[in-house]
Structure 1
Amino acid sequence: MRTDGWSLLLRVGLRRDRILAPVAIGVLVLMSIASAAATPSLYSSAAERIRAAEAINASPAIVALYGPIVDVSSEGELAMTKMTVLYALFAAALFIAIVRRHTRVEEETGRTELVGGTAIGRDAPLMAAAVEAVLLAVVLGLLTALGNVVGGLDVGGSVAFGAMWAGSALVAAGIGLVAAQLSASARTCAGFAAGAIGVLFVLRAVGDTGPAWVSRLSPLGWNTQVRAYGDTRWWLLLAYPALAAALAGVAVALRSRRDLGAGLVAARPGPASGAPRLADAFSLALKVHATTLMLWSGAAAVLGAVFGMIAPGIGDLLDSATAQSIIDELGGALVSAILSITAVVLTYFAATVVGHSARDESDGRAELVLAGGTSRTRWFAATAVLALAGTAWLLLVTGAGLWIGYVAADGPGIGNLLVAALAWAPAAWVVGALAALSLALGTRWAALVWVWPAAFLTLSLLGDLLHLPGWLTGLSPYAHVPLLPAAAWDWGSAGGLSAVAAVLLGVAWWRFRERDIG
């Protein structure tokens, strides 16, 4: 391996990720703390916790989504039910994004070729990305372990859980390194990596609800088998870095067999000339993001249906008088909670669209488009409309999936789930408008498009944990959404948030019109 100069690239990578990595890791750790701290208050005795754990294991839909609780008497396993598998996927997505950013994206933009013309070795970028992933995984594991202890869980189990999350992140980084060698573009790289994670999740779900040996084929299946808060299998934690190292070795071998900027899976050439309709900025934007929108739509529909099937059985999981009274009072509380998290996740579609436009500008593609007959206003409007309309569409698809799953599970009537999902659209539009404003301020501010959703989610989590004043938590647009279907539709909230989004878009358009491109 020729890795000369990898430490310099590592420092550059850490500096580039100085906002993305701390914010994303902070959100993950806060989610874990919130789950650890909230669960004990729902159950007044060990018997109630056991009944809840047994009810979870008795539901194939819940087990397929979250994984089983191996030790039903463990408070920690019950508290970390969602964190063990489902939220480990968020950590995996973060590390794939970081690895992809410092490997395939750098090659696609030509910066790797420029750096390679100096004393930097051929394999230095891959080495630097791998070392950064290891460092960030260690930080994630340590902070998660410490956070779970602060949340009230035992030290040994928290250390094992943090190590398990760190191991999942390392495996995801290894998958990202391999995907970067196979693909010829950053988008294809993301597709390969997402597909691999999806296969691992399906294997885990099949094994947890059917033949147990199938689950052992997936690192996500190992997450529950570690038994962090039970009879911990410390030896199994060694499998994560071993698999990650093997994947990194495969990536190095594949790297030596391809040309710089190319992928082992050759890119399929497009048509020699574009269709006339692509001369319009809106049609071009939709064409560019059509595949992404379809993938997001499919994921939103599936998750909505799964959560919809789980929702009617929530009463079986809450046998304590306090917890049951909460459900009795709120009715569709679980659906409201699901939508509150889903809305934040789906807002990242808007961030993806705006972030792509920012890359088009920094790479010079936007300048080429604007040199023709497309005006600045139309180019900017195409990005903003697709970002906001696409987010609303995804919320609608989620609502439809919830309704289908809820009806399939014979759930009692709780209101219109399509309306409940769309109630989050104005808040998502505000966040999307802030992303558009970040683009309008210039490419140096473009990284903020990824920060806004995470920042508002963190504010909500901190508000609940630290009992922050209402005016501070009220800075999050998500805090002003009525929790349908448990609450009633509020035209004042929807109109106010929509007006704020419109004002932000107006300011963004004015700023974009006035500044220099690039």
Structure 2
Amino acid sequence: MMGTHRESRTGVLGPGTQGVGTMVLVALRTGWKALAVWVLALVGVMVLTGSSIGALYDTPEKIRGYAESLGGDAMAVLNGRVAGLDTLGGVFANEFGFVLSFGLPLMAIALTSRATRRDEEAGRLELLLAARIGRRAPLLAAVLVASGAVLLTGLGCGAAMAAFGADARGSLLYGLGVAALGFVFVGITAVAAQVVEHGRAVWGIGLALTVLLYLVRGIGALERNGLVWLSPHGWVDQVRAFGDARAWPLLLALGVGVALVALAFWLLDRRDVGSALVRPRRSAPRASAALRTPLGLAVRQHRGAVVGWTVVGAALMAVYGSLAQAVIDVITENRALGGFLGADVEAAAEVVLRTVMSTFVMMLAMLVAAFVVAGVGTLRKEEESGRLEVGLSSQRSRGSWLGVHLLVVLAGALVVGLVGALALGSTTAASLGEDAWVGDVLAGAAAQAPAVLVFAGVAVALFGWRPRAHALGWAALALAALLAYLGPGFDLPDVLLDASPFLAVGQDVVGDGASSTGVLVLLVLSALLVAAGFLGFRRRDVPVA
């Protein structure tokens, strides 16, 4: 059968690795732009963090005040228990922690899946294996390139920390911890690429494990128990780079990463090229009545993603909502904060809690926006596979095809956002014993809807005019998220902060509500972007040249 390729060819790195150097060059030649963007973006965030934090906390007294203001348990679930918070390096690590927790895993998933399952799904891998390329060479090349990228990112982050005044030895250890976290997810993605048949399924597994392991670390840090050792995020914390530093947790991460890569090779040898260990279930011999309609077919295509993103969002928001009482306790029991807030500490704590809840709602909006960008991005797959041409060969118009898919994606976004907001609101209400929080959180989530619509517009406009530039939609989302998450703490100018749709609707949507001007501007911008996308799709070639 074509594509089996079970013969063993020996290269310098072992059986089946012949041509691995060529495959590394191919991966770098075709994917260097994505690699460079990931490395420069994450290191750039660390540079921004270092420059801003270094200016804000330029004395030992200010650094001690930062450590005292955190209060301990409430924020441990977000960034873990960072050692050395009374040092500048510890402050850097804590501020960069959330970006690290998701940025490095996503980078590893993107780079590894691109050179494994994505190439295999497109049929390019089978063509390469027809030449003098060993069966294991493409996977090994993908692991080497992705591992090199995460190592370069880690060292770059460590160098940036040291350049802005952090302890040099601690900065190096922290940078290696960053790389170790990425390497574990390189191994996870390599295994997933052997198990499932489609790139979107690899992404689904990777994203689910990223959130799950992040929550496991957070719960372990909050409860001060051994759960932190079940998560690679926790291993980075246990290096304690700016406290009583120890390097052996890095060896644990390295060992797990190597074991996962070895498992990926073992699984690779037990399947055919173009298939996977878990085969998709057989379809019915006849399509149902719903599948014979454009709407039913679109729902079928997007429903798996809706379910996955909904579960991830609900789990994340439920954990965040359960922290509400802990936030109140930190403020009321911390003397330093009490003196700063004044006599009416309880009223001030309520204000602070609403600000924290606004941040959680904003994070939910970011997750929903990511779902929308990914959902519109799947339409490019329809075009590349040739299914779009078949679908448009009947009397169906391009506008109706795109409109149905956009409608389903937006309906899915409503489900993801609504379930996530209900999870956040209900757990907050249960934690505080105040049912009114459910309505407050739902209102705040509704206020963020125009921000999500902007990214739907960006994705549709790119699909309509430049479908190959879909990655620009992810870049716009990443930039907006970074401005919204880090900008207020870094005291950036209001003009720059308002450029992020997540802040343009208002910085305290749970406490103060939405900005009517911001909402109106975002809705108009969304409509213009969507209209431009439909116009471009109607005028361009399918498939695009």
TM tier, smaller: 0.7 to 0.9
- 2:100·2:178 contact (CA, 8 Å) conserved in 1? no
- Unaligned 5+ segments in structure 2 are 1-14, 343-347
Deviations, residues 420-472 of structure 1 (Å, cap 9, x unaligned):
11211112211111111111114322332322201333455786688766555
Q: Residue 338 of structure 1 corresponds to which residue in structure 2?
A: 360
Deviations, residues 300-359 of structure 1 (Å, cap 9, x unaligned):
222222222224433526734797478676662112223333322321111111111111
- Aligned pair 1:428/2:442, yes or no? no
Q: Residue 450 of structure 1 corresponds to which residue in structure 2?
A: 474
Q: Residue 269 of structure 1 corresponds to which residue in structure 2?
A: 282
- Aligned pair 1:409/2:428, yes or no? no
- SS of equivalent to 2:322: helix
2: distance between equivalents of 1:489 and 1:210? Answer: 35
Residue type of the partner of 2:17?
T
2: distance between equivalents of 1:28 and 1:342? Answer: 21
Q: Residue 20 of structure 2 corresponds to which residue in structure 1?
A: 6
- Aligned pair 1:255/2:268, yes or no? yes
Q: 1:488 aligns with which of 504, 509, 513?
A: 513
Could you tell me how far 1:277 is from its partner in structure 2?
Answer: 1.4
Could you tell me how far 1:213 is from its partner in structure 2?
Answer: 4.2
Could you tell me how far 1:286 is from its partner in structure 2?
Answer: 1.8
- Aligned pair 1:505/2:530, yes or no? yes
1: distance between equivalents of 2:520 and 2:64? Answer: 47
Deviations, residues 80-102 of structure 1 (Å, cap 9, x unaligned):
34754784233112211221121
2: distance between equivalents of 1:187 and 1:447? Answer: 15
Could you tell me how far 1:269 is from its partner in structure 2?
Answer: 1.4
Residue type of the partner of 1:364?
G
- 1:108·1:186 contact (CA, 8 Å) conserved in 2? yes
- 2:204·2:308 contact (CA, 8 Å) conserved in 1? no
The alignment's C-alpha RMSD in Å is 3.3
Q: Residue 478 of structure 1 corresponds to which residue in structure 2?
A: 502
Could you tell me how far 1:278 is from its partner in structure 2?
Answer: 1.7
1: distance between equivalents of 2:482 and 2:521? Answer: 22
1: distance between equivalents of 2:388 and 2:542? Answer: 8
- 1:360·1:366 contact (CA, 8 Å) conserved in 2? yes
**What TM-score, normalized to structure 2?**
0.84
Deviations, residues 216-267 of structure 1 (Å, cap 9, x unaligned):
3432331221111101112322332232222212212221121101112233
Q: Residue 56 of structure 1 corresponds to which residue in structure 2?
A: 72
2: distance between equivalents of 1:190 and 1:226? Answer: 28
Q: 2:127 aligns with which of 104, 114, 117?
A: 114
1: distance between equivalents of 2:100 and 2:418? Answer: 23
Task: Identify the range of structure 1 (237-246 vs 31-40) with the bigger mean alpha-carbon deviation.
Answer: 31-40
Deviations, residues 151-176 of structure 1 (Å, cap 9, x unaligned):
55333222221111110000100111
- 2:121·2:198 contact (CA, 8 Å) conserved in 1? yes
Q: Residue 367 of structure 1 corresponds to which residue in structure 2?
A: 389
**What TM-score, normalized to structure 1?**
0.88
Q: Residue 399 of structure 1 corresponds to which residue in structure 2?
A: 421
- Aligned pair 1:387/2:409, yes or no? yes
Could you tell me how far 1:506 is from its partner in structure 2?
Answer: 0.8
Q: Residue 165 of structure 1 corresponds to which residue in structure 2?
A: 178
- SS of equivalent to 1:267: coil
Task: Identify the range of structure 1 (401-410 vs 80-89) with the bigger mean alpha-carbon deviation.
Answer: 80-89
Select the structure with the greater relative contact order (CA < 8 A; seq sep ≥ 6). 1
- SS of equivalent to 1:431: helix
Task: Identify the range of structure 1 (482-491 vs 356-365) with the bigger mean alpha-carbon deviation.
Answer: 482-491
Q: 1:148 aligns with which of 161, 185, 188?
A: 161
Q: 1:225 aligns with which of 238, 246, 252?
A: 238
Change (3 A) 1:408 1:286: same
1: distance between equivalents of 2:398 and 2:323? Answer: 47
- SS of equivalent to 2:72: helix
Deviations, residues 487-517 of structure 1 (Å, cap 9, x unaligned):
2333332222111111111111011011110
2: distance between equivalents of 1:486 and 1:16? Answer: 48
Could you tell me how far 1:29 is from its partner in structure 2?
Answer: 3.9
Task: Identify the range of structure 1 (332-341 vs 496-505) with the bigger mean alpha-carbon deviation.
Answer: 332-341
Task: Identify the range of structure 1 (265-274 vs 123-132) with the bigger mean alpha-carbon deviation.
Answer: 265-274
Could you tell me how far 1:268 is from its partner in structure 2?
Answer: 1.8
Residue type of the partner of 2:281?
R
1: distance between equivalents of 2:408 and 2:304? Answer: 13
2: distance between equivalents of 1:186 and 1:454? Answer: 21
Q: Provide the aligned length of Structure 1 versus Structure 2.
A: 514
Percent pairwise identity: 27
